């Protein structure tokens, strides 16, 4: 009886394509558990107190994007950088970034809370996109090598609620 119930559940999940999603999440949890077993994270030594005492804040995060038929891509963001002398806190943050490479255009999203539109500087040279934003409390910077040659004349952007969207035609 339980086997029939499991088959019905699997058929339901397959109908919506969720079986692979749940398998992927399960593999991700297993991977995180294995990493923790091999090298447990110790938060007490990761940030030197000097920069924080001077008013700087450490921000670190990551996103995991699935790749069809391959390993997931892990991208980091923030202002905590790994160096030979251990982690350091930079004044500039690397923003959370999402790149959508579509048929006719490339769309880039930057999450940059705490700045105004007039704080933003965008430069496009061939297929290199440079971005920075700064005010009294926050500084962001990112340089991206785009996958295709783009047309600088078709470059447009909009900024709303801390999210910068840049569209560039191929």
Q: What digits encode the pLDDT tens for the residues 95-130?
A: 999 999 899 999 999 999 999 999 999 999 888 999
- Based on the fold, state whether residues 84 and 70 are members of the same structural domain: yes
Number of domains within the chain: 3
**How far is it, in rounded angstroms, from Cα 12 to Cα 29?**
23
| Average predicted confidence (pLDDT) for the chain | 76
Query: In the prediction, which pLDDT does 48 show?
Result: 44
- Based on the fold, state whether residues 111 and 145 are members of the same structural domain: yes
- Based on the fold, state whether residues 8 and 65 are members of the same structural domain: no
- Based on the fold, state whether residues 166 and 130 are members of the same structural domain: yes
- Based on the fold, state whether residues 8 and 79 are members of the same structural domain: no
- Based on the fold, state whether residues 37 and 60 are members of the same structural domain: no
- Based on the fold, state whether residues 157 and 134 are members of the same structural domain: yes
Domain of 55, in residue numbers: 47-89
- Based on the fold, state whether residues 55 and 119 are members of the same structural domain: no
| pLDDT tier for residue 41 given thresholds of 50, 70 and 90 | very low
CA 35 to chain centre: 20
- Based on the fold, state whether residues 103 and 161 are members of the same structural domain: yes
- Based on the fold, state whether residues 66 and 80 are members of the same structural domain: yes
Query: In the prediction, which pLDDT does 18 show?
Result: 52
Grouping H, G, I as helix, E, B as strand and the rest as coil, residue 136 is coil
- Based on the fold, state whether residues 108 and 167 are members of the same structural domain: yes
* Cβ(110)–Cβ(130) below 8 Å: no
Give the model confidence (pLDDT) of 65-82 as tens digits.
Answer: 776 667 777 778 888 877
- Based on the fold, state whether residues 85 and 145 are members of the same structural domain: no
Q: What is the CATH number of the domain that holds 102?
A: 2.60.40.790
């Amino acid at each position: 009886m339980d086997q029939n119930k499991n088959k019905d559940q699997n058929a339901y999940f397959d109908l919506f394509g969720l079986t692979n999603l749940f398998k992927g999440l399960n593999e991700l949890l297993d991977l995180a558990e294995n990493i923790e077993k091999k090298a447990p994270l110790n938060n007490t030594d990761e940030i030197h107190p000097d920069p924080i005492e001077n008013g700087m804040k450490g921000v670190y995060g990551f996103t995991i994007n699935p790749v069809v038929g391959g390993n997931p891509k892990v991208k980091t963001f923030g202002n905590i950088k790994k160096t030979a002398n251990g982690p350091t806190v930079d004044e500039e943050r690397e923003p959370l970034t999402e790149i959508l490479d579509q048929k006719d255009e490339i769309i880039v999203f930057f999450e940059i809370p705490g700045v105004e539109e007039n704080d933003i500087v965008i430069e496009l040279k061939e297929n290199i996109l440079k971005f920075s934003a700064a005010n009294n409390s926050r500084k962001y910077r990112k340089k991206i090598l785009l996958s295709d040659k783009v047309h600088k004349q078709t470059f447009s952007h909009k900024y709303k609620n801390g999210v910068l969207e840049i569209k560039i035609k191929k």
